[in-house]
């Protein structure tokens, strides 16, 4: 059975939002519906929010969930910016049990990357590409010859100063430390140089909230690699989660 319309849900640090997606075009079929992320963001509380989103759209088809952690075969392996009780939880099984609907779970940055490669800034580019989402944390995605290398956690690389990149240059850090955009950009540039040195990508795509503010920092970046902004903006996780779900043939047997 083919499903070309899938409910994409993006679980973020501040909000959980979703919308039905036409996977052939990447278009949202309804206005995004957002509910603040519960605190603490335990499996039960998040599952209940997702159930509310499902009911809001009166959805009866498959669900794709973009999740802010390493996910292997539906099981959560890390919890940098969510409640640690998620570790070891089969998120796909949990959501299916709560909603009664087939569910596929993918790392949120990977989801955003799939959307950008299919419909956005990475479309038709078969080189080595790194997508970096900057928000509450730093998510990364690596594509080589159009193929996703899943669950890269390059936001957790240690810089020469000995500090973890995410603790040095996420958007949450910028806000918490009240950094000017120029000061933050110089920090971000240090991180980008580290990524360039390790991977020498042909293109770096910047996503997350800072992608909407590029004029405030883009001129302060000094890396050789071409840098562009993500085109899908805040819809990337939703669209990518739907795409990943559609690509998971086992879900539709």
Per DSSP, helices labelled H in the chain are: 43-56, 91-99, 108-119, 165-169, 171-176, 181-199, 236-247
Q: Each residue of 189-241: pLDDT tens digit?
A: 999 999 999 999 999 999 888 988 999 999 999 999 999 999 877 788 999 99
Cis peptide before 40 (omega within 30 of 0): yes
Q: Each residue of 28-85: pLDDT tens digit?
A: 999 999 999 999 999 999 999 999 999 999 999 999 999 999 999 999 999 988 999 9
Phi, psi angles (nearest 5°) of residue 77: -115, -20
**Structural contact between residues 98 and 58, judged by C-beta atoms closer than 8 angstroms:** no
Measure the CA–CA gap between 63 and 105, rounded to whole angstroms: 9
Considering only residues 161 and 75, tell me which one the structure prediction assigns the higher pLDDT. 75
> Is the model's pLDDT at 2 over the cut of 60?
no
pLDDT for 106 equals: 96
Q: Each residue of 99-136: pLDDT tens digit?
A: 999 999 999 989 989 999 999 999 988 889 999 989 88
Q: Among candidates 41, 46, 40, 45, which has minimal Cα distance to 9?
A: 46
Mean pLDDT of 19-24: 96
> Is the model's pLDDT at 252 over the cut of 70?
no
Domain with CATH 3.30.420.40 in the chain: 5-107+235-252, 121-230
pTM reported for the whole predicted model: 0.85
Q: Assess if CATH 3.30.70.100 describes domain 5-107+235-252.
A: no
Considering only residues 14 and 77, tell me which one the structure prediction assigns the higher pLDDT. 77
The pLDDT-based confidence of 1 (bands split at 50, 70, 90) is very low
SS3 211: helix
Angle between helices 43-56 and 91-99 (to 10 degrees): 50
Please provide the CATH number assigned to the domain covering 121-230: 3.30.420.40
């Amino acid at each position: 059975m083919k499903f070309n319309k899938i409910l994409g849900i993006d679980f973020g640090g501040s909000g959980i939002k979703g919308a039905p997606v036409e996977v052939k075009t990447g278009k949202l079929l309804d206005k995004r519906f957002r509910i603040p992320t519960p605190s603490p963001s335990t499996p039960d509380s998040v599952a209940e929010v997702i159930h509310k989103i499902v009911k809001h759209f009166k959805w009866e088809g498959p669900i794709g969930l973009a999740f802010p952690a390493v996910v292997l075969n539906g099981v959560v392996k890390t919890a940098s910016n969510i409640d640690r009780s998620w570790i070891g939880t089969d998120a796909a099984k949990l959501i299916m049990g709560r909603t009664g609907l087939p569910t596929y779970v993918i790392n949120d940055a990977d989801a955003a990357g799939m959307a950008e490669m299919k419909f956005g800034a990475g479309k038709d580019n078969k080189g080595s590409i790194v997508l970096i989402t900057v928000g509450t944390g730093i998510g990364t995605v690596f594509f080589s010859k159009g193929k996703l290398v899943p669950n890269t956690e390059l936001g957790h690389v240690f810089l020469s100063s000995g500090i973890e990149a995410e603790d040095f240059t996420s958007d949450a850090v910028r806000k918490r430390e009240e950094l000017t955009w120029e000061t933050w950009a110089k920090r971000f540039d240090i991180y980008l140089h580290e990524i360039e040195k390790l991977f020498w990508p042909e293109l770096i795509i910047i996503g997350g909230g800072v992608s909407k503010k590029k004029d405030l920092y883009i001129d302060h970046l000094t890396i050789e690699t071409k840098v562009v902004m993500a085109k899908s903006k805040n819809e990337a996780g939703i669209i990518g989660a739907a795409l990943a779900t559609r690509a998971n043939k086992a879900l539709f047997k």
